[in-house]
Structure 1
Amino acid sequence: MSEDRATSTAEHPPEGGARRARKKRGPLGVFVIVVVVALICGGLYLGVSKGVDWLGDQFGAPDDFSGPGTGEVLVEVESGDTSAAIGRTLKEAGVVASVQAFIDVASADSRSSAIQVGYYNMRSEMAAADALELLVEPANRVTNTITVPEGLRVVDIVEILADKTDFSGAEYEKALKNPKALGLPDYAEGNPEGYLFPATYEIGPKDSAADILAKMVSRWRQAADDAGLEERASALGRSPAELMTIASLIEAEGRGDDMPKISRVIYNRLDGPGSKGGTNGLLQIDASVNYALGRKGVIAVTTAEIDSVADSPYNLYKVTGLPPTPIEAPGADAIAAAGAPADGPWYYYVTVDLATGETKFAETYDEFLQYKAEYKAYCETSDAC
């Protein structure tokens, strides 16, 4: 080897043929390395730990209480609730330990699809299976059922509600002063008379007086829509408010299949005297006079009683046309009849048998007098008059 080559090799070692001198690390560098390693190890541990927990959640048995529960917890199943939604409600109320536990038992039981909307008294810390058993039994629903019959005035309805619920008449009267909150239509002009629909209602434990009244107005809305109230009013040249007033008169005067005929009598009287008789626009309906007198029921009025409320707009023996508002709450049949009167030439009707409700319809005043005599003969042998 020549001297020149030896010198060159020493000054420029072959690539990769010599190791770089290692630099000694100080205490700070060692500390940093230890911290980094600790963080990495800690992250790996947490990741593995969480992964195990997640796997347990996904594939292990969900949390569930073992006992029948204690105390009392009120929960509500709302319309459209799925098993998962019910499970969340129960979990949030402390009834079940986990949503998944309830979903599992509900999925395995076909009865869960028939769980009814409403309130249920549950217990804290129930086993999911026990909670399901309680919910699938309709008898466990917390209900207060109230039936409001047809043909009642607002004052009568409030009396029933106050008697059957925890709210006073004054609380209902206060709620009635907020017609918008109750959902009354604009054409009711804030007057609930006729719009508190007669039906059977379930009163929930959290319902307020206003909630109960709103349910009744909502049920009226359903009946009105079913009868096509607004459309039929337009077709007959009347307002929806007028149709509701006509429906209330029909409710007071008729029964069943006679309602469309009574509806026709009212329209015939309103639209003119006719060629074979008529009342010159006077409806002459006793029920409206009774409303003016402040009394309910089907009671024949005397001449003296008619004269005592001569100035009342509800005295249909003195005032032509319709009264200003409904006189009572009509049911679905009466609302339908108001919008679909029967075809016929009748101007009069007389109920000749109060027990059966048999009613005869007349085109002329002479026919009317015949049926009226028949009614008087009936009353001579009946206590119903």
Structure 2
Amino acid sequence: MSDEHQHTTDEVVERDDAFDRSSDEDTYYEGGRRRKKRGVSGCLAVLVAVAVLVGGFYLAVTRGVDWVSDQFSSAEDYPGPGRGSVTFEVQEGDTTAEMGRNLKADGVVASVQSFLDAAAAEPDAAGIQVGFYGMKKEMAAEDALEVLLDPANQVKATVTVPEGMRVEDVVELLGQETDFGAAKWRRALTQDIGLPDYAEGNPEGYLFPATYEIGPKDKPKDVLTAMVDRWRQAAEDAGLEEAAAELGKTPAELMIIASLIEAEGRGDDMPKISRVIFNRLDGPGDKGGTNGLLQIDASVNYGLDQELGVALTTEQLQQDTPYNTYTRPGLPPTPIEAPGDAAIAAAANPEEGDWYYYVTVNLKTGETKFAETYDEFLTYKDEFTEYCTTSDAC
């Protein structure tokens, strides 16, 4: 065998060996670089991976379709009419969707969408008022919406505090008209209810007379704070603090005057009674003035812890207390009752006049006559005495 043939034979063997090794190592050469062969096991792995991806995609799509179906298919709804009772609150700023979510959370409606569908079909749905509503569990969404659209369905206690009540009377009234006893209202008075600094912690005169709606979550402190807030509104409307500076009084003094006006007058007479009080406090005595004595019976009664309208005996008029305006000149130390809008406005805006006296000559109509002198006052007093001889009102 020639050398050339031997060399060729050796190359063939080497190439065969190389081929065999490449088969063993599962590689081959292409373009001068070593490449991994893609055998059956490699293809199988790819197919498994694809299957997993496809399966995951299928599950995701399926769940997505289910979610979309839940949103856009016919919403679940209760047939109604419902059972039990639920107190549901609509808060300030609640959207229709938020109401729906809260209704569902409280077990009132079956789904948020059923409530949204009912609201979409109702033109007045945007008019739902803030408050608490008496509802049932498992109501039809349309029925639930109907309840919310009617403010008469709100759950609340309504308490009317009339003008001229002392704090003691207000507490008793609130104790009778609410689920909280008078003792709880008294304890609440010791808390911060927003009184002005010049009240010096005394709520007398500052629990404003008005009608208040008390919701299920309201506590005594909340209601009393609302009463003081309402007083503050009346004071601002009357320009109480500005008027006090112009009249040479403090805001606290004007509130005392307002309480006296509330006790003594009514309607259009209030600004005149206000002027009488100012004249008695500040005016000279040369027109038969009272030398600074206000001589107001209601204040005397307050000091004696009696009903403010009780007729006083001579002995009681002489009994000296800080509130006896017959024995002590000037204003009593605090308001004696809660004045309303008209009395506060009258204290801040007394009518111009030189009156020092007034007499109600007809108790049924409330007709009141004002006098500048003591002699004129005696004439009106005789008129009242004659009225009492022919009337059962005295």
Please give the range of the TM-score, normalised by the shorter of the 2 chains: 0.7 to 0.9
Match in the other structure for 2:300: 289
Structure 2 counterpart of 1:337, from 346, 370, 374: 346
SS at match of 1:142: coil
Note if contact 1:152-1:296 (Cα within 8 Å) is conserved in structure 2: no
Instruction: Kindly report which structure 2 residues correspond to 1:279-318, keeping only aligned pairs within 5 A, or say none.
Output: 279-308=290-319, 310=320, 312-318=321-327
Distance 1:53 1:240, change over 3 A: farther
Instruction: Kindly report which structure 2 residues correspond to 1:193-232, keeping only aligned pairs within 5 A, or say none.
Output: 193-232=204-243
Unaligned runs of 5+ in 1: 1-15
Note if contact 1:143-1:203 (Cα within 8 Å) is conserved in structure 2: yes
Note if contact 2:318-2:326 (Cα within 8 Å) is conserved in structure 1: no
Match in the other structure for 2:172: 159
Measured after TM superposition, the shift of residue 210 of structure 1 is 2.1
Structure 2 counterpart of 1:139, from 140, 144, 152: 152
Match in the other structure for 2:37: 23
SS at match of 2:158: strand
Distance 1:365 1:80, change over 3 A: farther
Note if contact 1:289-1:316 (Cα within 8 Å) is conserved in structure 2: yes
Task: Please give the root-mean-square deviation of Cα atoms over the aligned residues, in Å.
Answer: 2.7
SS at match of 2:310: coil
Measured after TM superposition, the shift of residue 26 of structure 1 is 8.5
Task: Measure, in 2, the Cα distance between the counterparts of 1:151 and 1:114.
Answer: 37
Measured after TM superposition, the shift of residue 32 of structure 1 is 5.7
Measured after TM superposition, the shift of residue 107 of structure 1 is 2.9
SS at match of 1:85: helix
User: Cα deviation per residue 1:271-328 (whole Å; 9 max; x = unaligned)?
Assistant: 13254231111111111001011112323423310222x1x21111122211111100
Note if contact 1:69-1:127 (Cα within 8 Å) is conserved in structure 2: yes
Distance 1:377 1:61, change over 3 A: same
Task: Measure, in 2, the Cα distance between the counterparts of 1:32 and 1:246.
Answer: 97
% identical aligned pairs: 64
Unaligned runs of 5+ in 2: 1-29
Task: Measure, in 1, the Cα distance between the counterparts of 2:387 and 2:92.
Answer: 53
SS at match of 1:202: strand
Structure 2 counterpart of 1:52, from 65, 68, 91: 65
Distance 1:288 1:31, change over 3 A: farther
Match in the other structure for 1:375: 384
SS at match of 2:135: strand
Distance 1:88 1:186, change over 3 A: farther
Structure 1 counterpart of 2:275, from 261, 264, 269: 264
Distance 1:352 1:58, change over 3 A: same
Measured after TM superposition, the shift of residue 148 of structure 1 is 1.4
Structure 2 counterpart of 1:184, from 195, 207, 210: 195
Match in the other structure for 2:18: none
User: Cα deviation per residue 1:30-73 (whole Å; 9 max; x = unaligned)?
Assistant: 68645643442244224323432453355433333333222111
Mean alpha-carbon deviation: is it higher for 349-358 or for 74-83? 74-83
The answer to whether structure 1 residue 237 and structure 2 residue 251 are counterparts is no
The answer to whether structure 1 residue 319 and structure 2 residue 328 are counterparts is yes
Taking structure 1 as the reference length, the TM-score comes to: 0.87
The answer to whether structure 1 residue 174 and structure 2 residue 183 are counterparts is no
The answer to whether structure 1 residue 360 and structure 2 residue 369 are counterparts is yes
Distance 1:359 1:85, change over 3 A: farther
Task: Measure, in 1, the Cα distance between the counterparts of 2:354 and 2:76.
Answer: 75
Note if contact 1:360-1:371 (Cα within 8 Å) is conserved in structure 2: yes
Distance 1:355 1:21, change over 3 A: closer
Distance 1:371 1:126, change over 3 A: same
Q: Which has the larger radius of gyration?
A: 2
Taking structure 2 as the reference length, the TM-score comes to: 0.85
Note if contact 2:71-2:113 (Cα within 8 Å) is conserved in structure 1: no
Name the count of aligned residue pairs.
368
1:341 partner letter: P
The answer to whether structure 1 residue 119 and structure 2 residue 154 are counterparts is no
Note if contact 1:149-1:198 (Cα within 8 Å) is conserved in structure 2: yes
Distance 1:190 1:25, change over 3 A: farther
The answer to whether structure 1 residue 130 and structure 2 residue 139 are counterparts is no
Measured after TM superposition, the shift of residue 377 of structure 1 is 1.5
